[in-house]
């Protein structure tokens, strides 16, 4: 670890170090969210799946950080507008 090893000593470098770690987590979350969908939607365009697929992918992707790493899961939207298909709380 760079902090414990004494390689980062200045307070502004410590801040930059933690900002970088957060940026890496955010980047991985965005990538996992984009890859879980087998379609293109919004700003996420996939050459291997160039079309929207509302029949299979109308819903939300939830991403969270756990001890095991960044996890992503898809949750379809029910046919009733504004309700979720699952009653399980988003984490």
Q: Evaluate if residue 77 carries a pLDDT over 60.
A: yes
Three-state secondary structure call for residue 70: strand
pLDDT tens, residue by residue, 25-35: 999 999 999 99
The pTM score is: 0.69
The pLDDT assigned to 9 comes to 75
By the 8 A CB rule, do 40 and 26 touch? Answer: no
CA distance 14 to 12: 5
* Average pLDDT value for the chain: 85
Residues in the chain: 91
- % of the chain residues with pLDDT over 70: 79
The pLDDT assigned to 11 comes to 82
Q: Evaluate if residue 87 carries a pLDDT over 50.
A: no
* Strand ranges (E), 35-82: 59-66, 69-76
């Amino acid at each position: 670890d760079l902090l414990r090893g004494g390689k980062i000593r200045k307070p502004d470098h410590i801040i930059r170090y933690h900002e970088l770690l957060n940026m890496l987590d955010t980047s991985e979350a965005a990538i996992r969210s984009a890859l879980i969908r087998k379609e293109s939607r919004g700003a996420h365009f996939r050459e291997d799946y160039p079309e929207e697929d509302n029949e299979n992918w109308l819903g939300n992707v939830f991403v969270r950080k756990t001890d095991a790493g960044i996890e992503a899961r898809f949750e379809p939207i029910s046919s009733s507008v504004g309700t979720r298909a699952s009653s399980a709380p988003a984490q």
